[in-house]
Chain A
């Protein structure tokens, strides 16, 4: 259900953009803060994926982290 809603939302957004191009409300020259490396969701992939893996092995929850962990599920 949630997938369908997301896909529908994306379809509407893409469709709308085809009819009337959306003006970016944050211009490229206004993205200095956003482009700062400290704003990355995954600044050090090797580290983040390891920590996600530690959680994944200890917890039943999985997925949707944006970065899955790697490996061994040791008891």
Chain B
């Protein structure tokens, strides 16, 4: 059950990691990861494989394969549909070409699942300036999305929608001192077309004590602006502290702020890390948990991702570096584990299963619409990955 977030799909692993200072070709490495998300009665897991190889000393190519196996009985699904399973596959290819102090990037991503197909092309350039103290970068991407709808497990032949996305980004990375680096990123994303879920409904009051549902109604355009500032500081005992902030705004009225703090500490062959991240968001103008009547406004949404809420994520991780004997072409290798715990508290999204029931079965003592407890969500995120450099 895809959502428009898909448009930003997977460019990052293909881009050269923003390395402090000089514009250089990215490292030659391969990663094999298993990922698992478990929260809110949704489980998403699968593999990701990323390989990056140089051709000569001016060209680097990269390929990524990523899969999500989704098993969902989320709160949206509980109040309006049946549990479902879905598989999403994503393939990406990109190339980077180094020309003096400039690095040019070009890439393509294809993502497909039973009811959503997305093709994205992207291009970028980064340039070192001022003795490699400053790196500027610009990027553009274009995405073409085809949205379908499954009915009773079969694709509805009468439902086919389109959505196009364009994104423009600019970045500036600056070495400030021997031990400190700053990075500023700015991104504008604009969508046009079918932007809602073909499955989700809004609820409204039929009378003081009864409720009914109708389809969501969304605008056909959305433009967002986001700016972020990150700083990283090298501590005297060989460790790194990182601080980040992002401000987000869009034409739907959503305002979001993200702040995070991280710490990385190597010790022998181990590298330990921990971070805390806080996110807060104000709802979209046309979001409501319960509308006063049918067709209350021109646009109607009950997507909890457009609600007012905040969340906190705590993450810990460890990486162990090791040498694989008798394999001369591998320079080094490592194994990593990362675990994150995410907790979300919604301010204006209520647990409608207490009035609607679950999967069409009413609760023993249904609550009146609008009096249900506010919804909360806890999730665990696990990553296990192996990396080799060659």
Contacts and interface: CB of A to CB of B under 8 A. Distances in A.
B10 interface: yes
Contacts of A48: 12
B254 interface: yes
Contact of B12 (A39, A49, A73): A49
B170 A24 contact: no
Interface in B231-270: 232, 234, 238-240, 242, 246, 248, 250, 252, 254, 256, 258, 264, 266
B281 A34 contact: no
Contacts of B383: 47, 50-51
Nearest to A36: B234
A10 B126 CA distance: 13
Given A62-B189, A70-B9, A35 B4 contact: no
A64 interface: yes
A33 B179 contact: yes
Contact of A24 (B48, B133, B258): B133
B289 to A, nearest CB: 15
A52 B12 contact: yes
A24 B235 CA distance: 22
B104 interface: no
A38 B226 CA distance: 26
Contacts, number: 262
A33 B178 contact: yes
B385 interface: yes
Contacts of B168: 3
A39 B234 contact: yes
Contact of B5 (A34, A45, A73): A73
A70 B66 contact: yes
Interface residues of B, number: 107
Interface residues of A, number: 59
Query: Chain A CB within 10 Å — which of B248, B306, B342 has the most?
Result: B248
Contacts of A52: 12
Interface string B126-143: 000111111010000000
Given A46-B31, A71-B88, A73-B2, A60 B189 contact: no
Interface in B182-199: 183-189, 197, 199
19 contacts: A2-B227, A23-B131, A26-B133, A38-B239, A39-B20, A42-B17, A46-B50, A46-B64, A47-B338, A58-B305, A59-B311, A60-B284, A62-B224, A64-B185, A66-B183, A69-B12, A71-B10, A75-B74, A75-B199
Interface of B: 1-6, 8-13, 15, 17-21, 31, 33, 35, 37, 42, 44, 48, 50, 64, 66, 68, 70, 72, 74, 76-77, 86, 88, 90, 111, 113, 129-134, 136, 167-173, 175, 177-179, 181, 183-189, 197, 199-200, 224-228, 230, 232, 234, 238-240, 242, 246, 248, 250, 252, 254, 256, 258, 264, 266, 271, 279, 281, 284, 305-306, 311, 313, 315, 336, 338, 340, 342, 344, 381, 383, 385, 387
